[in-house]
Amino acid sequence: MAKDIFYTALDIGTSKVCTVVAQVGPEGELKVVGVGLVPSQGVEKGRIVDIAEAQEAIQSSINEAQRYLGNRIPSIFVSVSGAHVTCFNSSGMIHPDSEEKPVTRENIERLVQSSYPDIPVDKQILHVIPVNYVVDGYRGVRNPVGLHAGRVQVESHVVLGERDILSKTTHAVENCNIPVGGMVLSPLASSEATLYQDEKEMGVVLADIGAGITDLAIFKDGSLWYNASIPVGGNQLTRDLSVALGMPYYFAEDLKEKWGHASPDGSESGEEVLLPSFQGQPRRLIRRTLLCKPLIERLQETLGLLQVKIQQTGMTRFPPGGVVLTGGTTKIPGLAELATKVLGCSVRVASPMGIRGLSHEQNKPAFSTVIGLLLWSIKNHSQKGLYSSKGDWNSGEPKTFFQRIRSAVQVR
């Protein structure tokens, strides 16, 4: 009997820590066999601020996810997000051995390796993704393998994270006796579960709105082209509502969950909401539109910041694929309508799609990152190395480094 292979993803967020364990079924379907969802602690806006508290939450999540497996998780893929993540483009060039012979995959491996940049000691490379190739001066080549050329160039998208922050994350996971198989940029992982390939090809903006931050990724010609982070998320909406209503945060969170709406009109606008009593104050009724006002204002501001980030890239308009919103905060009704008005482009709210074997609860925007991580780990399972808390890939597995590059080239 073939040995069961389990794929595991860990999303460490501001409000929740989620672990999902899955297998691939005989027909290629993703079968989730374990989920661990616990409140987050020791994490703020993508960085661990208390490693002991974070480790406790991670351990609880992992234990809950693997309790039905009967055996230990071999390794785990972990999401990375936050303002410490930066990006830029790098380039490389090679001259193939002979113009009489076609360009080989080994040539492309060497080419992509040549685009790896020198980085400061406090930074760590997360991804180097080939974006496009130039063959003897001709731009826009998607895959040079098999062509005859005297010179081949590559432009790569480089994603960096702060070494100390990544080290704390891997250290917290390793202390749970599970090695980190890979670290993946959160919106890049989310894109695996939420974006159509056609959207990536024509150009699309993905905004993953979590509790503490909004992660942004722009795709062009099928590849990640830009990524950034905005330090605003669902928690800010709750705080604004708490201040506006003069009540504790946990009351405001409950009201946001039950009555929050980004575009209240029609029947919603005339509804009244009964506010709970606290500290001796009596219950009172307010119109739903009044309750939603601070939420809408904060969402409009967040969408405006998203627009500014896009303009800072030099883009004068949104790409043809428009904007795709995902993440736990996007469950607020009416958000797509509000975003369409503010941004002036097509907008859709996305949950994990095209995946069999997900429960109703797992098929929600809040699970986009962790499900995308699963898909990433499955795609890269045979190529992965192990990431240590020292911030280096383990090269003990033969050709691991070049196999990862080959996987990126083959996907294109």
d(CA 113, CA 301): 41
What pLDDT, on a 0 to 100 scale, did the predictor assign at position 166? 96
Helices 368-379, 186-194: crossing angle, 10 deg rounding: 90
Alpha helical stretches, state H, 83-213 = 105-114, 163-174, 186-194, 197-202
Domain 196-349 annotated CATH 3.30.420.40 = yes
What pLDDT, on a 0 to 100 scale, did the predictor assign at position 30? 77
Domain boundaries, the chain: 196-349
Q: At which residue do the structure tokens 């002036």 appear?
A: 344
pLDDT digits (tens, 9 = 90+) for 279-322: 777 888 999 999 999 999 999 999 999 999 999 999 999 999 99
Query: What's the pTM value of the predicted model, to 2 decimals?
Result: 0.87
Residue 62 has pLDDT above 60, yes or no: yes
d(CA 365, CA 350): 6
What pLDDT, on a 0 to 100 scale, did the predictor assign at position 174? 94
pLDDT digits (tens, 9 = 90+) for 79-122: 999 999 999 999 999 988 767 788 888 989 999 999 999 999 99
Three-class SS of residue 393?
Answer: strand
Greatest CA span in the chain, whole angstroms?
86
What pLDDT, on a 0 to 100 scale, did the predictor assign at position 83? 92
- Give the tokens for residue 82: 């936050």
Three-class SS of residue 334?
Answer: coil
Residue 83's alpha-carbon distances to 205, 227, 240, 317, 328, in angstroms, are 18, 10, 22, 24, 19
Helices 163-174, 51-66: crossing angle, 10 deg rounding: 50
What pLDDT, on a 0 to 100 scale, did the predictor assign at position 395? 30
Alpha helical stretches, state H, 115-233 = 163-174, 186-194, 197-202
φ, ψ for residue 153 (rounded to 5)?
-120, 155
d(CA 179, CA 46): 20
Q: At which residue do the structure tokens 């990862």 appear?
A: 404
d(CA 332, CA 340): 15
pLDDT digits (tens, 9 = 90+) for 317-352: 999 999 999 999 999 999 999 999 999 999 999 999
